[in-house]
Amino acid sequence: MQIELSSTTLSIQTLYRMFRDGDFYVDRRYQRKLVWTLEEKQQLVDSILKEFPIPLVLLARRSSEGAVYDIIDGLQRLHTIFSFIENAFKTADGLLYDMRQLPRAAQAAKDDNREIVADDSLLLSPTDCAAFSEYVLPVTIVERADGESIIQIFERINSYGRRLSEQEQRQAGLTSRFSQLVRTLSCEIRGDVSEENVPLSVMPEISVQGVKTVHGYGISAENTFWSKQGVLHFSSLRDSLDEQMIADIVACILNKEPVQRSRLSLDRIYDPTEKEYTRIENLLSKYGEDDIKRDFLTVFDRLQITCDHIPEGSTLQSIIAKGQHHNEISTIFAALFLAFYELIIIRGMDVHDYDKLVMALADLQLTTQRKAIEPAKRRANINSIKGAIQDAFAEDDVRDIPLGKPLVYTFENSLRRSRIELPHYEFKQGLLTLNSARTFGEHVLDDILQTICGMANIEPNRDSFIYVGVCDKESDALRIKQLDSIDPVIFEGRQIVGIEREAKILNQSLDTYVMKIKDKINVSGLSGHLKNDMLSKLDCFVYHNLDVLRIVVPGQSRMSFLGDECFDRHGSSTVKVPIQSVPDVARRFQS
């Protein structure tokens, strides 16, 4: 396809309006996370205020959506500019942008219930604010280009700001099955799962920040598995070393034996001109992407539960790699993961004594020097770990675990995603009323049915989720604590209270409790195609000793009804669709 380019200049004021209109999107297949430090952001603002030139912004117009653009180059710069306008950070001199000088910014602050600072001593002067908003950026727009061309353009760009790390360079612009799998697994574990293409405004919610670099991002590094367990520092996450570690582990799994742990080995796997690239792609095709994702995350789940049994004040790093350099910690972690994989997935075992397992890990004697990167030494470490820990495992058919069964990381990612994808998530504290009578709330089941119908109508072929046993109001959690003597588990502002407490009140088993919901769905007036998909999509799981029910609303290819009524989702609310608006919902499902 012949690429057409057009060059123009746009003021920051115009770009901000476009941002607020939702015109800028980020393709996560090739774009990295928000990674600039506060100093880098302040330097850009200073350059603009001093009217220094800054590199151009490169956009690709979405041909089917008019004035909507994918950001090819300039993500960090544009986000920095817009977040400065919205008072996310100060200049190096400690001053904020005066949002009163830009009506669209002031209106956005009011709409978002954000404070508008009015103390002039804390603000840039009106003259400086005008200079900032009137600053003109060079912009080049790719008018006609397919996805492959855009990726190739991005791959060749590395200008202004922090250079790409080695792993970012490998992942950038590559859309192989292996690279996509590594990207997906990394997001699942970090907690920044999202759609592949997201509005620029959503990027802060799915970016990681460190303790000393508070940017208002949605994911704190110290809350990720990697940082909590001392495996990787924030700077390593920023440089995508978690993805590098996962790529190495996945390559070992596909190879059925450890590969050389080196930069060159990974480079070859990511280079389409290399034989190793083709070999790994073929092995992945043979294994199956869904299957290896399931197996990898099943093993990771057991590792995470193991870490939950580590004594307070200690971490995985402190018991298996005390005093080791972080490069050596990642080597040991990879060996530990592969030992778990071979016991759980290959030998069909599962952990039966986590306390015994933690004690065994504390006594490991492993090779951690540079020679530990060689396949033979890696194999020796894996075998050593297996020998030390296998008494904590017992025979069990792990492959009977359903692919969709929610594990800890899946649930936590749902809680995170619910902040930015409101229509696709709903939380219910339970089925009983919270008065002293604790009667069964038939209206709650009716509400669940309406929510199921509304979620099915949001968009074609996109799953949504209802969790029962999770409070969306703090007052409900406090009341449940008072009534049922349950201490809620808090994660991402949600209070998990479980459902077993209600089953006990009803004098029922958990299975009978869940069957009430299944029976309600079965006899409901939900459209047949939706109802049939729903009945196998209810499952319970344990989260910090609390039973939670997950109801998956499978994405549909056609509109759904509840009886003769149609429902939709507006934010976190379910609404009945007026008869005159039903055709609008139907059009969402027309290809």
Q: What is the DSSP string of 373-433?
A: GSHHHHHHHHHHHHHHHGGGEEE--GGGS-TT---HHHHHHHHHHTTT-GGGEEEE--SB-
CB 492 within 8 A of CB 416: yes
How sure is the predictor about 401, in pLDDT bands with cuts at 50, 70 and 90?
A: very low
Token look-up 């319970």 returns 540
Q: Is the pLDDT of residue 159 over 60?
A: no
Look over the chain and give the mean of its residue pLDDT values, rounded to a whole number: 88
| Chosen domain end from 376, 400, 424 | 400
Hey, what are 258's tokens? 């450890």
The whole-number pLDDT of residue 403 equals 37
How many CB atoms are located within 10 Å of the residue 284 CB?
A: 21
* pLDDT at residue 63 is higher than 80: no
In a 3-state reduction of DSSP, which class is residue 291?
A: helix
pLDDT of residue 99: 96
Top pLDDT among 33 and 55 is at 55
- 201 lies in some domain: no
Claim to verify: residue 530 and residue 449 sit in the same structural domain: yes
Boundary-marking domain end, from 400, 417, 442: 400
pLDDT of residue 373: 82
455 and 312 part of one domain: no
Do residues 362 and 491 share a domain?
A: no
Domain that holds residue 434: 408-587
Residues 389 and 436 grouped into a single domain: no
Identify the CATH number of the domain in which residue 452 sits.
3.30.950
pLDDT category, 320, cuts 50, 70, 90? confident
Q: What is the mean predicted confidence (pLDDT) over 145-164?
A: 59
The pLDDT value recorded for residue 405 is 46
Q: Which of 49-63, 194-208, 395-409 has the lowest mean pLDDT?
A: 395-409
- Looking at the structure of the chain, the number of domains it has is 3
102 domain-assigned = yes
Query: With contact defined as beta carbons under 8 Å apart, do 232 and 62 qualify?
Result: no
Is residue 262 located within the same domain as residue 342?
yes
Q: Which of 564, 566, 541 is nearest to 551 (CA)?
A: 541
Question: Which one-letter DSSP state was computed for residue 581?
Answer: G
* pLDDT-based confidence at residue 34 (cuts at 50, 70, 90): confident
pLDDT reported for residue 400: 42
In the prediction, which pLDDT does 325 show? Answer: 60
Question: How confident is the model over 248-270, as pLDDT tens digits?
Answer: 999 999 999 999 998 899 999 99
For residue 170, which amino acid is it?
A: R
- Based on the domain organization, do 373 and 475 belong to the same domain? no
The pLDDT confidence band at residue 492, using thresholds 50, 70 and 90, is confident
At residue 65, the pLDDT reads 60
Same domain for 571 and 477, yes or no, is: yes
Q: Rounded mean pLDDT of 290-294? A: 92
pLDDT tens readout for residues 112-141 = 899 999 999 999 999 999 999 999 999 999
Give the domain-ending residue among 374, 400, 426: 400
Same domain, 425 and 354: no
Return the closest-CA partner of residue 280 out of 243, 321, 251: 251
395 and 434 housed in the same domain: no
Q: Looking at residues 563-571, what average pLDDT do you find?
A: 95
Q: How confident is the model at residue 151 (pLDDT cuts 50, 70, 90)?
A: low
Same domain, residue pair 461 and 571: yes
Report if residue 288 sits inside a domain: yes
Is residue 494 situated within a structural domain?
yes
Dist. CA 582–CA 114, nearest whole Å = 36
Please say if the pLDDT value at position 406 is more than 60. no
522: helix, strand or coil: helix
Quick: pLDDT tens for 345-392: 999 999 999 999 999 998 887 766 655 688 999 999 999 999 999 999
Pick the residue with more confidence: 451 or 157?
451
Q: 91: pLDDT confidence band, cut at 50, 70 and 90?
A: very high
Would 199 be classed as within a structural domain? no
Whether 88 is in a domain gets the answer yes
Q: Is residue 360, in this structure, part of any structural domain at all?
A: yes
| Chain segment 184-238, per-residue pLDDT in tens | 999 889 888 888 788 898 888 888 887 666 677 878 888 889 999 999 888 888 8
Q: How far apart are CA 575 and CA 559, in angstroms?
A: 15
The answer to whether residues 206 and 218 touch, using CB atoms and an 8 Å cutoff, is: yes
- Of 312, 328, 396, the closest CA to residue 364 belongs to 328
Residue 212 lies in a domain: no
Per-residue pLDDT band at 321 (split at 50, 70, 90): confident
155 pLDDT more than 80:
no
Burial of 130 (C-beta count, 10 Å sphere; 0-12/13-18/19+):
middle
57-61 β-sheet, strand order: 4-11, 136-144, 57-61, 69-73, 24-27, 197-199
Based on the domain organization, do 387 and 508 belong to the same domain?
no
Q: Are residues 415 and 375 in the same domain?
A: no
